[in-house]
Structure 1
Amino acid sequence: MHYRTLGDSGVEVSEVGFGAWVVGTDWWGDRSEDDAKEMLRFALDQGITYFDTGDVYGHGRSEELVGEALADVRDEVTLATKVGYDFYNNPQAGHGELPKEMDAEYLREAFETSLDRLDTDYVDLLQLHNANVGEVDEDVLELLDEWREEGKVDAVGWALGPSIGWLAEGDAAVEHDFDAVQTVFNLFEQVPGRHFIESIRESDADTSVVARVPHSSGLLNEQVRPETELEEGDHRGFRPDAWYETGWEKIENLRFLERDGERTMAQAAIQWLLSHDEVASVTPTFRTREDISEWAAASETPPLTPGEVERVEELYAENFGVDRDDGMDALRSSVEGKDLEGTGMHWAGR
């Protein structure tokens, strides 16, 4: 495993991280709590030191399980969590989105409760969870600075989407010198990741990108194939059929990335993300020990060559040779789509 630093915060993260949204919830498959904790420890054994959870995952249970599993190695790992969804006062309706609360006093109480659940007196990275750009006011920014000064937070981030804003929010994170912006980013879904990388480079900012959904909901790790029947409640089932149908065609044009067995397609998808210096960590959705073994090892597979990166760029420009709609050409926006101009994406609000 190789390691990178979040911005200029000094916080080190493993190039492959553990997205703990699979822990404490059944949205990505059902598993016992003992199995969940065993997965966390197994990930650590594979060199993963960055563990990313959120208070809303399992309504606090993910944080508790992460805290329990990693209590005796707290100083060896990088813990990240998120706050901003008010599940304390609102019931969860299936996979529906809960109301958000970005009031500074609410965030203060929510974060203190998260620290209790994680059984720690600080987190390495605290992220605002899907905050709209207009919700992060001076009071919130001052609160984040206060926590850093008190040693309760080493780095701050802004975790984006999918249901809230995108580009305006990530640009605000860069403008306000957040250490990290977390976003969906993969070979097939390159907006808004490409946009944020351009913003970081243009402003010479120290913000890092944390890439989630690197395998595009099962396509790039080939866990969702034409014959796959997703179980009821599987979060990947919310993608339109056209997404998978076009994806199976696109992936055939990426076989050159497997490099004659030196790396699998799933590993290549991670290495493509890591070919961007601004990407600090990639957080796949682990379901099994086998996933962890294969994807954690991606960090040590051969990096993409300049020629491979260039070929991906060419394929992306021509939609990977597929001439039909994949049903995923719209993004949500908190500024009525103004931030999507010039991206080739449409505002989902229309």
Structure 2
Amino acid sequence: MHYRTLGTSGIEVSEVGFGAWVIGTDWWGDRSEEQAIEMVTHAVDQGITFFDTGDVYGHGDSERLIGRALADVRDEITLGTKVGYDFYNNPQAGHGELPKDLSPEYLRTAVDRSLDRLGVDHVELLQLHNANVGEITPDVLETLDELREEGRVSAVGLALGPSIGWLAEGERAVEAEFDAVQTVFNVFEQVPGQHFIDTIRDQHADTSLIPRVPHSSGLLNEQVTPDTELAEGDHRAYRPDEWYETGWEKVDALRFLERDGERTMGQAAIQWLLSHDEVATVTPTFRTTADIDEWAAASETPPLSPEETERVRGLAETNFNVSRDDGMDSLRSSVGGEDLEDIEKGYAGS
């Protein structure tokens, strides 16, 4: 495993991190608490040191389990969590989005409760969870500064979503000198991740990117194929058929990234993200210990060559030679896609 620094915070993160949304929830399959803890400890054994959770995952269950699993190695790992959804006062309706509260009073209360569940006195990274640009007010920024000064958080970030991510919000985070922006970013879904990289470079900013969904929800690691039957409750079952059908065609166009015995397609997808200096860590969705073994090892596989990177870029400009729409445009933005129209040309998915 190789390691990078988050922004200018001095906080070290493993190039492959652990997205703990699979812990304490049933969105990616049921597992017992002991099985969940075994996955976390197995990840530590494979060199993973960055663990990213959120208070809303399982309404605190993910934080509680992560804290329990990592208690004995607290000094060796980097903890990130997210706050902003008020699940304390609102019932959850399926996978529906809960009301948010980013008032300074609520943020402080939420941080206190997260630290308590994690069993720690601070987290290295605190992220605002899906905050809209209008919610990132001067009072919120002041509260984040105070939490850092108090030593309760070391760095701050913005986690975008729940789909591909919000353009104005990511730009606001870079402008406000957040240490990190977490967003959906992968070879197939490059907007707005590539735009954020351009923004960081144009502004000479120090914000790091944390890509999530690096395998495009199972396409780039080939866990979702034409023969796959998604289990009941699997969130991917809500995607349109066109998304899968066009995705399989795109995977075939990327076969040149595989290196027999050296790099799998799933590892190449991670290495493509790591080819960007602005990317600090990549958080795949681990479902099994076999996933952990393969993707944690991606850090030490051969990096993409300049020729491979250029070939990916050329394919992205032609939508991987797929002329059909994938049916996802309306899900790619907080305002139905309109804010991405001016920047998407030249990026994948345009």
Return the TM-score normalized by structure 1.
0.96
Aligned to 2:138: 138
Structure 2 distance, partners of 1:165, 1:316, is 19
1:337 Cα deviation from its structure 2 partner? 5.9
Residue 193, structure 1, aligned to residue 193, structure 2: yes
User: Are the equivalent residues in 2 in contact too, given 1:28–1:287 (CA < 8 A)?
Assistant: yes
Structure 2 distance, partners of 1:312, 1:17, is 24
Structure 2 distance, partners of 1:123, 1:278, is 22
Aligned to 1:235: 235
User: Are the equivalent residues in 2 in contact too, given 1:272–1:309 (CA < 8 A)?
Assistant: yes
Aligned to 1:38: 38
Going from structure 1 to structure 2, the CA distance change for 1:117 and 1:24 (only over 3 Å counts) comes to same
CA displacement 1:19-55 (0-9 Å, x = unmatched): 0000000001110000000100000000000000000
Larger mean Cα displacement after TM superposition, 49-58 or 95-104? 95-104
Structure 1 distance, partners of 2:37, 2:245, is 35
Structure 2 distance, partners of 1:242, 1:333, is 18
User: Are the equivalent residues in 2 in contact too, given 1:132–1:165 (CA < 8 A)?
Assistant: no
1:240 Cα deviation from its structure 2 partner? 1.1
1:333 Cα deviation from its structure 2 partner? 4.5
Structure 2 distance, partners of 1:75, 1:61, is 22
Structure 2 distance, partners of 1:64, 1:302, is 36
User: Are the equivalent residues in 2 in contact too, given 1:132–1:164 (CA < 8 A)?
Assistant: no
Please give the root-mean-square deviation of Cα atoms over the aligned residues, in Å. Answer: 1.4
Structure 1 distance, partners of 2:260, 2:290, is 21
CA displacement 1:263-313 (0-9 Å, x = unmatched): 000000000000000000000000000000000000000000011000000
Say which SS state the counterpart of residue 283 (structure 1) adopts. coil
1:344 Cα deviation from its structure 2 partner? 3.4
Structure 1 distance, partners of 2:337, 2:243, is 22
Q: How does 1:1-350 map to 2 (within 5 A)?
A: 1-162=1-162, 166-331=166-331, 333-334=333-334, 339-344=339-344
1:236 Cα deviation from its structure 2 partner? 1.6
CA displacement 1:93-133 (0-9 Å, x = unmatched): 11111111111101110110000000000000000000000
User: Are the equivalent residues in 2 in contact too, given 1:52–1:80 (CA < 8 A)?
Assistant: yes
Structure 2 distance, partners of 1:338, 1:219, is 26
Structure 1 distance, partners of 2:332, 2:225, is 28
Say which SS state the counterpart of residue 263 (structure 1) adopts. coil
Structure 2 distance, partners of 1:335, 1:200, is 23
1:335 Cα deviation from its structure 2 partner? 6.4
Structure 2 distance, partners of 1:196, 1:147, is 26
Structure 2 distance, partners of 1:225, 1:270, is 19
Aligned to 1:348: none
User: Are the equivalent residues in 2 in contact too, given 1:130–1:158 (CA < 8 A)?
Assistant: yes
Structure 1 distance, partners of 2:199, 2:233, is 37
User: Are the equivalent residues in 2 in contact too, given 1:131–1:164 (CA < 8 A)?
Assistant: no
Gaps of 5+ in 2: 346-350
Larger mean Cα displacement after TM superposition, 53-62 or 162-171? 162-171
Gaps of 5+ in 1: 346-350
Structure 1 residue identity aligned to 2:83: V
Going from structure 1 to structure 2, the CA distance change for 1:298 and 1:227 (only over 3 Å counts) comes to same
Structure 2 distance, partners of 1:255, 1:261, is 14
Structure 2 distance, partners of 1:343, 1:303, is 28
1:341 Cα deviation from its structure 2 partner? 4.0
User: Are the equivalent residues in 2 in contact too, given 1:225–1:248 (CA < 8 A)?
Assistant: yes
Structure 2 residue identity aligned to 1:280: A
User: Are the equivalent residues in 2 in contact too, given 1:7–1:180 (CA < 8 A)?
Assistant: yes
1:243 Cα deviation from its structure 2 partner? 0.6
Structure 2 residue identity aligned to 1:320: F
Say which SS state the counterpart of residue 95 (structure 2) adopts. coil
